Amino acid sequence: MSKGIIYIMTTAVSGLIKIGKTGSDQFENRMYQLESNGYSNVVALKRCFAIEVDDYDEKETLLHEIFSKSQVGGSELFALNKDLVIRLLSSFEGKQIFPKQEKKDSFEQAEMANQDGLEGLYFHNDKSGNAIATLKVLGNKYILCAKSLLAPNYDGINPPGWRKVRESLKLSKDGRLSKDLECSSPSMAAALVAGGARSGFSFWKNKDGKTMKDLIK
């Protein structure tokens, strides 16, 4: 697993932040460079949060995907409340680099804050196009339906609370849920099916093939 640092920086523009990554041994140099020179014509960057995690490339990509509707062009700038992103990052397993503080709220709270009007059935298909898992969204409830096929290997599931749920589940001989399971978010349900971190926004699709991300208002 590749270890590195994901960081958040504020900018001179209120409500505009930078979400980026760097190698563990390059953090101070990267912060100095950005704080001195700015980024993409935006100045007065200031570090506000950083955490060292495994698979940092994948996790940064996941963050950018979750918040894609708030992304400025193809840059690493996002029109977001920094506290929302800090809550999400704080839920990852890893070593908090800056500032020194305890972990805060959960991954799902950040994800749920970005969703609206998603009630209905969603599916995940195999390579042949057959649905192997179904997610039912009812108000604020996210129900992974019985007979959904779960990944046999779940070592890559994070946060740890999701992994504990997976460890406690009793599946049929072919690896399927025996009964409906209420999940705390679409990404939790996706992680159980995939065996690792996935964005629920892109993982689940409705009968018309549209992802949750496509349907977010």
Interval 27-64: pLDDT, tens: 999 999 999 999 999 999 999 999 999 999 999 998 99
Burial class of residue 207 in the structure, from the number of CB atoms within 10 Å of its CB (0-12 exposed, 13-18 middle, 19+ buried): exposed
- For residues 85, 86, 90, 91, the Cα torsion angle rounded to the nearest 10 degrees is -30
pLDDT band, very low/low/confident/very high, at 2 (cuts 50, 70, 90):
confident
Tokens representing 48?
């506000």
pLDDT band, very low/low/confident/very high, at 205 (cuts 50, 70, 90):
very high
In this prediction, what percent of the chain has a pLDDT beyond 90?
A: 62
Question: What span, in angstroms and rounded, lies between the C-alpha atoms of 134 and 88?
Answer: 25
Closest listed residue to residue 61, CA positions, set 195, 166, 184, 201: 201
Domain map (residue ranges) of the chain: 3-105, 120-215
pLDDT value of position 110: 54
> Please, what is the average pLDDT of the chain?
88
pLDDT value of position 145: 96
Higher pLDDT: 66 or 91? It is 66
pLDDT, tens digit (0-9, with 9 covering 90-100), for 146-157:
999 999 988 888
pLDDT, tens digit (0-9, with 9 covering 90-100), for 77-127:
999 999 889 888 888 888 889 987 544 445 555 555 555 568 899 999 988
pLDDT value of position 150: 96
Closest listed residue to residue 185, CA positions, set 68, 81, 62: 62
Region 190-198: mean pLDDT is: 90
Region 163-182: mean pLDDT is: 92
pLDDT value of position 118: 80
pLDDT value of position 217: 53
